[in-house]
Amino acid sequence: MGPGSQEMMTQQAKDALEASDVIVGYTVYVELLRAFYPGKEFVTTPMRQEIERCRICFSLAGEGKTVSMVCSGDAGVYGMAAPMYELQQENKAYQQTELVVLPGITAANSGAAVLGAPLNHDYCVISLSDLLTPWEQIEKRLIAAVQGDFAIAIYNPSSHKRKDHLKRACDIMLTAGASPDRACGYVENIGRDGTKAHVLTLGQLRETPVNMFTTVFIGNSKSVIMKDKLVTGRGYQI
């Protein structure tokens, strides 16, 4: 469903929701859709109940209903597409259900558009959430991204329990060879009310608090700040 606004949803996604008997999702995301699809049945679960949410989808589909599982951004980017397939693989009763994944606009792309062109060359996407991935693995990925000189889109840079993760990530990238002057940026509330974008250096980012609704962009060694935009060139001679 992208960021949640109607204009940033694909027509495929809109058509799927219109054709659904039931819309299932995390409570916050479903509330963004409820007003646009009156008459639909909605089922929600809170955070940390993702697998139960998947089981609900298969159970409802088993009753003959057309069900949409909604995710913010893209279902295949830190979304629910993989666990749906994994559950289907493990449970024979679910294997009679047709499972279709529709693309959405993920925060790396929607946030990049707000900032200008931070991901216009090779880039990677890294989440700082260590709920499902050990921090040691996240650290290796950050180091590899700097060593490969990738631009980086960072998801889940902070939360109530992970207030220092972005600072730790910046320290790891600086130790791996990134310059304190490397061009960076971040966007809050992408595609929603109160969208805010900021550009700054990696050294400044290290000291900057961000919230859980923020996507952070780290340029590569040749990225530049142009006024209020972050630009990573392709290498063309201008």
pLDDT (0 to 100) of residue 160: 81
Residue type, 165: H
DSSP string, the chain: -BTS-GGGS-HHHHHHHHT-SEEEEEHHHHHHHGGGSTT-EEEEE-TT-HHHHHHHHHHHHHTT--EEEE-SB-TTSSSSHHHHHHHHHH-GGGGGS---------HHHHHHHHHEETTSSSEEEEE---SSS-HHHHHHHHHHHHHTT-EEEEE----SS-TTHHHHHHHHHHHTT--TT-EEEEEESTTSTT-EEEEEEHHHHTT----TTEEEEE--TT-EEETTEEE-------
- Listed as ranges, residues in the chain with pLDDT below 50 are none
pLDDT (0 to 100) of residue 6: 87
pLDDT (0 to 100) of residue 1: 94
Nearest C-alpha neighbor of 184 from the set 156, 151, 209: 151
pLDDT (0 to 100) of residue 144: 98
pLDDT (0 to 100) of residue 96: 95
pLDDT (0 to 100) of residue 192: 87
